Structure 1
């Protein structure tokens, strides 16, 4: 819910200024593509999902630390899906906080 409410706030506030609108649209496209790709491969191989998570973290320099780098094969798929979903939400929230919210020091 926090990720969705921040996204709504960013969308609304970007409408006032053309620079912020373009910046928001660009960053939102990255975020949306990430969500779509995750949804697409969600029921696929675990290593692909973990690779997506790690690559997004590294590419955007988010520095999100995960409790486990690779989840053991012994956990069930439903538990793995829930854990990886939490990791993805953490990445999205950090992406929004670091890149989409502009502070005066970033301008």
Structure 2
């Protein structure tokens, strides 16, 4: 399985969670700012995950208004695979979970 990075996008920042295997997070969720320094931190997380797994990670996020655009543009410029999840599908997936927890970390 390719490693996955789930991102919960908000205004000016995002919460990032890395996964090497399904439902097995790697480390803790991390908040990155939508700044050049924050994007460089995200890139280093992606490279680190690629080195651990041997595969380039997929990035999955839910489009949030216009806040996701600058992040997606950066990731595509850096040649990472970005998958945008339809907000209705994401909502259904959250509802099917056994745990009814709503946090940025669980969304990521």
Q: Give the TM-score normalised by the residue count of structure 2.
A: 0.30
Instruction: Give the structure with the larger strand fraction.
Output: 2
Query: Whose helix proportion is higher, 1 or 2?
Result: 1
Higher relative contact order (CA 8 A, sep 6+): 1
Larger radius of gyration: 1
